[in-house]
Structure 1
Amino acid sequence: MRIYAHRGASKDAPENTLKAFCLAFSQHADGIEFDVYQHENGIIVFHDRTLRRRANAEGYLLETPWSTLQTLDIGDGERIPTLNETLGVVPTNKWCNIEIKHLVDVKRWVNDVKAALSQSQIAIEHVLVSSFNHHWLKAITDLWPEVKIGALSASYELDCTASAKALNAYSVNIALDAVDKTFVQTVLSEGFNVYVYTVDEPKDMEMLAQWGVTGIFTNVPELAKRVMAKRASAKDAVSDKS
């Protein structure tokens, strides 16, 4: 089961910062998940529409000049990173899930992401683009069919693969509160991967692994890797006895 660090190792470091991303990889996460906004000065990594929670400042992210955003402390002296800076700390053979929070110019967004990837060590095969706005995802895949798409949802739809089919998606990314075993079996049987967010409890990690999900998004990647290692050891022990 693939372990993505949700906004980096966000239990141990400020979310969506280079510190959180580097820590996640030092904890052996398979990949990182992070949120992006298309600011007038480029793609920046941040979760909220406003600055209050993360920067203890007033105002909206997109209404604030980049020169000002660069000065804000979002925890432990960390600054808001750009997409280029974020991709620059992802090691070879690791994954990243780019969740889009704001997008205006799809063509410019695709070109900017491609340019950032060309300067990083990441293979396009290890990039997953997701959003709750499936119109954005459709526009992206029309321009960039090579990129993997994650159909993000917080709902267990009556037809749980309809969006994935419409987007020719790689995966369905579903909320933990909405998923069950039947959902996982249905999505996998129809040829899509299943990722579940946000999974921080060992019991839930074990359950999802038993169901065969492709991966999880977690704030505690170190714990998740330990749980999966313990599970693998237990299976090996049973196999040796048989």
Structure 2
Amino acid sequence: MLIIAHRGASGLAPENTLAAMEKALELGASAIELDVHRVEDQLVVIHDRWLQRHTDGHGLVHHSTLAALANLDAGQGQRVPTLWQVLECIDGRCDLNIELKGRNTNQPLIELLSQAQLQLGYQPQQFLISSFNHPKLMRLKQLQPDLKIGALTASCPLDYARFAEELGAYSVHIDVNFAEPEFIADAKRRGLKVFVYTVDEPEDMLELQRQGVDGVFSNLPDQARATLGSHTIAPGHVWS
């Protein structure tokens, strides 16, 4: 089973910061998940639309500037990194799940992933792009047919994982509160990988393992590794 560090090792360092990414690598997470918004012509790594929860700033992320973001404290003296800074930090040592937030992220993402392959040595298969915005994922897949996409949901749809199959998704990402056995089984029948978020309780991890899910997003990758033991998959090219 994959242990995907949720916003980095966010239970142990400020979420979506370089410190959280380094901590996830140190703890042997199979892969790292992070969130991006567009600011000016770049993608910045932050979860919320508003700055208040993550930083000592105020206002909407997309109304900010790169210069202003660089001066904010994202916790313990950490800064809000750009996606490029995170890619440099990780340096291809594990695969990434990039969740798209906000507006107009597709084109800068495509350009940045190409740049990462040329300049940093990443392989195309190291990236999995996810979003709750399914029309955005559909457009991205049309622009980059070979790119792996993951369809997020925070519900248990009537037709289970059909929406993800119709998008041509590689994976479906299910809220732990809606990870019903029937939903998981349907996704597997459709040939989809099943990843469940956000899973920090050992009992949940073991139950999801019994149900055959392919991975869990966890804020505590060290605890997840201790719980799942030899069943965990080491970092590397895990989006197979």
Whether the 8 Å CA contact 1:103–1:109 is kept in 2: the answer is no
Alignment of 1:166-181 (within 5 A): 166-181=166-181
1:49 Cα offset (Å): 1.1
What amino acid maps onto 1:13 in structure 2?
A
Q: Give yes or no for contact 2:36–2:100 (8 Å, CA) kept in 1.
A: yes
Kindly provide the CA deviation profile for residues 155-180 of structure 1, in whole angstroms up to 9, marking residues without a partner as x.
11111222212211000001000112
Output the amino acid matched with 1:139. Answer: R
For residues 110 and 88 of structure 1, do their structure 2 counterparts lie closer, same or farther at Cα, with a shift above 3 Å needed? same
Unaligned runs of 5+ in 1: 233-242
3-state DSSP class of the match of 1:194?
A: strand
- In structure 1, C-alpha distance between the alignment counterparts of 2:170 and 2:231, rounded to whole Å: 26
Number of the residue aligned with 1:101: 101
2:68 is matched with which residue?
Answer: 68
Unaligned runs of 5+ in 2: 233-240
- The equivalent residue for 1:201 is 201
- Change in Cα spacing, 1:48 to 1:105, as seen in structure 2 (3 Å) is closer
Determine the C-alpha separation between the residues in 2 that align with 1:154 and 1:204.
Answer: 17
Contact 2:4 / 2:217 at 8 angstroms: preserved in 1?
yes
The residue number in structure 1 matching 2:163 is 163
The 3 A distance-change label for structure 1 pair 75 and 117 is farther
Aligned to 2:41: 41
- The secondary structure found in structure 2 opposite 1:52 is coil
**Alpha-carbon deviations, 1:46-101, whole Å to 9, x = none?**
11111111112222111112111111111111111111111122254622110001
Preserved CA contact (<8 Å) 2:88 2:120 = yes
- How many Å separate the matches in 1 of 2:94 and 2:132? 24
Q: Percent identity?
A: 39
Aligned to 2:31: 31
Listed as ranges, the matches of 1:54-65 within 5 Å are 54-65=54-65
Please state whether the residue corresponding to 2:54 is helix, strand or coil. Answer: helix
CA distance in structure 2 between the partners assigned to 1:188 and 1:10 by the alignment: 29
Q: 1:186 — aligned with what?
A: 186
Paired position in structure 1 for 2:237: none
1:116-136 CA distances to partner (integer Å, 9 max, x unpaired)?
343334322121100000011
Amino acid at match of 1:9: A
2:135 is matched with 135
RMSD across aligned positions (CA):
1.6
Q: Specify whether residues 102 and 31 from structure 1 end up closer, same or farther in structure 2 by C-alpha distance, changes over 3 A only.
A: same
Equivalent-residue separation in structure 2 for 1:118 and 1:125 (angstroms): 14
If you compute each CA radius of gyration, which structure gives the higher value, 1 or 2?
A: 1
CA separation of 1:92/1:58 partners in 2, compared to 1, >3 Å: closer, same or farther?
Answer: closer
1:4 is aligned to 4
Confirm whether residue 110 of structure 1 aligns to residue 110 of structure 2. Answer: yes
- Distance in 2 separating the partners of 1:134 and 1:142: 12
Match of 1:240 in 2: none
Between Structure 1 and Structure 2, how many residues are aligned?
232
